[in-house]
Structure 1
Amino acid sequence: MRRLLIDTDTGGDDAVALIMALRDPGVRVEAVTTVMGNVEVEQATQNALLAIERAGTYAPPVYRGLHNAVLNEPLVNKNFDIHGRDGMGDLGLLPPALRPQQEHAVDFLIRTIEAQPGEFEMVTLGPVTNLAWISLRSPGTLAKLKRITMMMGTGPYFGNATPLAEGNARMDPEALDIVLRDAGTELVLVGWDLCINEYLFTEEDLKRLRETESETARFCLDINHNLVELNERRFGARVLDLADPVAMAVALEPDLVEQSVTAYTRAETNKGLAYGAIAVDHCHQSGRVPNATTCTKLDAKRLKRCILSHII
């Protein structure tokens, strides 16, 4: 049984990704850690607990993580158009009955990974601030993970937070650069480019999903209604880009990846137009050892089937 640790800034699409992992029979989610991002860390923690309850399977422990970026002010809570003020569509959801653990997420992760090296894979669905602090406080700990799959970056596409940067990367570029530089384990980046174009859930896809008898599927649609409305304005159609579920699908089924680039990879930390952009040395001009794999093409039909099969 594969053992997962999931780090999340729980907005609506993160919640869908958590539900997917909790309903996959091939993995065991050992713990969920939270970080600021889509919402403040306390709200992200409550949202993670809500998602766990809605999955209806089992309840891994949840640990609160960092509330601010490593160095600069993050973009947290700046744009309510994406997930609403509460990160879950402002539906007035009842608070979760589950409660978070008291131990800090960074302390928990260091203790757990060090106690069982080589046992865990990690999936990150938000900025990697918690992981950067692990790297700074306990060098070598991240290297004891089997793999880290991140929802991170844009591949060869434009950004969704700035013209060049994707939201999770732009939230804490310094943290991302620390992790890329120091992790010492397999890093897999799944970018926003793999959530749009042929990977979008079309209006017809969403209609069919709404018509199922699954309460979980309807919940997943309801908490992401803000994103559908935003996409109608930016793409001209009522479509849904499920960034975190796409990354989770790649973590659960790695053979969804049809093309990728393994190369020396860093994040831009100089303030300016490219702040938060990810540089992938795909031509190996730097002569540096490759440290990350950026996915560039997925099997779109299988990807959709994977996501749907986990939430219906």
Structure 2
Amino acid sequence: MKKLLLDVDTGVDDAQAIMIALSSPNVEVLAITCCHGNTPLDNVLKNTLRVLKVCNKLDIPVYKGFSKPLLESKRNAGDYHGMDGLGDVPDPDAPGVELLQKEAAAQAMVKIAKQHPEEVILVATGPLTNLAVAVQLDPSFPKKLKALYIMGGNNDSRGNTTVCGEFNFVADPEAAHIVLDRYNCPTYIATWEFSCRSSLPWSFCDEWLSHKSEKANFMRKITALSMKKARSAEYQKEVIAGGGFNPCDVFALAAAVDDKFIKEKDEVAVTVELDGKHTRGMMVLDYMELLQKQHKVFIMKTVDSERLKKMLIKAIN
């Protein structure tokens, strides 16, 4: 069994990633830590509990993380995910936040890694604030992890939030810089442009959402707003190269649960630009090895789309 620790900013694609993890037979989700990002932290916490409820997994511990970045001004993606982060379709019977653990997210991360040395796979699908603080609390924390999978950053300097910046890294550039500098465990990154190029056909998306189950009904409701936005001509032209259904966070999660999912990858040293007027928050790939960094990460290039489709279908059945 793979032991996963999920760090999320639960919007629609985080919800999809969580549901894939919970439906994977070879996976044990040890805990979920929450961070600011797609929506304010209070919404992230409620959304995470809603996802666990529909999956009958409210026994999984959920921890409250940071509500703001280390230095950057707070951002959210309410225009895409909805103001509540889950498509603005509230559930009157949603679980209450009294179910949350008392311990803070960063401390919980460190504790869980100590309890399962070199077994925990950390999957981060939001801003990296919790991860940055965890390594400050315990500099040996990354060495205790089996691997780290990140959805964030970019490899072609094409932004979705700023000119050159992807949302998760732009939302907390300092945190992203700390993580890419100090996490020396095997690290895999699903970048923004990669996820765009790996988008699934809309025909699959329509078929996927037509399934009949409680989970599928939940998915139809929470994705309606973002799907409308994603299918708009303006969004397809300006943001997504090539078009299609792009469940960004799912790519990092899928790679973590299925070792055969990644077909091609680059191994390269990376960092994050902190000072540029137009490039703050942009991930920099050092193919010339001028940074002389010993630790290199794996940048996903191509993946097995058929495996991804099967995971998405299993997640809502």
Q: TM-score, normalised by structure 2?
A: 0.91
Please tell me whether the aligned partners of residues 154 and 192 of structure 1 are also in contact (alpha carbons under 8 angstroms): yes
Q: Percent identity?
A: 27
Q: Which amino acid aligns with 1:151?
A: M
The whole-number CA distance in structure 2 between the counterparts of 1:209 and 1:157 is: 32
Correspondence 1:214 to 2:213: yes
The whole-number CA distance in structure 1 between the counterparts of 2:251 and 2:119 is: 23
Q: How is 1:162-177 mapped onto 2 (pairs within 5 angstroms)?
A: 162-177=162-177
The whole-number CA distance in structure 2 between the counterparts of 1:167 and 1:132 is: 17
The whole-number CA distance in structure 2 between the counterparts of 1:82 and 1:17 is: 17
Q: How is 1:245-284 mapped onto 2 (pairs within 5 angstroms)?
A: 245-284=250-289
Residue aligning to 1:53 = 53
The whole-number CA distance in structure 1 between the counterparts of 2:301 and 2:181 is: 21
The whole-number CA distance in structure 2 between the counterparts of 1:57 and 1:250 is: 22
Please tell me whether the aligned partners of residues 5 and 121 of structure 1 are also in contact (alpha carbons under 8 angstroms): yes
Q: How is 1:94-113 mapped onto 2 (pairs within 5 angstroms)?
A: 94-97=92-95, 99-113=99-113
Correspondence 1:300 to 2:301: no
The whole-number CA distance in structure 1 between the counterparts of 2:102 and 2:306 is: 41
Deviates more, 1:272-281 or 1:301-310: 301-310
The whole-number CA distance in structure 1 between the counterparts of 2:43 and 2:57 is: 22
Deviations 1:29-50 (CA, angstroms, capped at 9, x unpaired): 0100000001111110111111
Structure 1, unaligned runs of 5 or more:
none
**SS state of the match for residue 224, structure 1?**
helix
Deviates more, 1:210-219 or 1:129-138: 210-219
The whole-number CA distance in structure 1 between the counterparts of 2:132 and 2:212 is: 42
Residue aligning to 1:186 = 186
Structure 2, unaligned runs of 5 or more:
none
Shift in CA distance, 57/103, structure 1 to aligned 2, threshold 3 Å: closer
Q: TM-score, normalised by structure 1?
A: 0.93
Q: How is 1:226-237 mapped onto 2 (pairs within 5 angstroms)?
A: 226-231=225-230, 232=232, 233-235=234-236
Aligned residue pairs, count: 309
RMSD between aligned alpha carbons? 1.9
Offset of 1:230 from its aligned partner? 1.8
The whole-number CA distance in structure 1 between the counterparts of 2:258 and 2:50 is: 25
Shift in CA distance, 95/273, structure 1 to aligned 2, threshold 3 Å: farther
Please tell me whether the aligned partners of residues 209 and 219 of structure 2 are also in contact (alpha carbons under 8 angstroms): no
Deviations 1:97-121 (CA, angstroms, capped at 9, x unpaired): 3611111111111222223321211
Offset of 1:57 from its aligned partner? 4.6
Offset of 1:239 from its aligned partner? 4.4
Residue aligning to 2:84 = 86
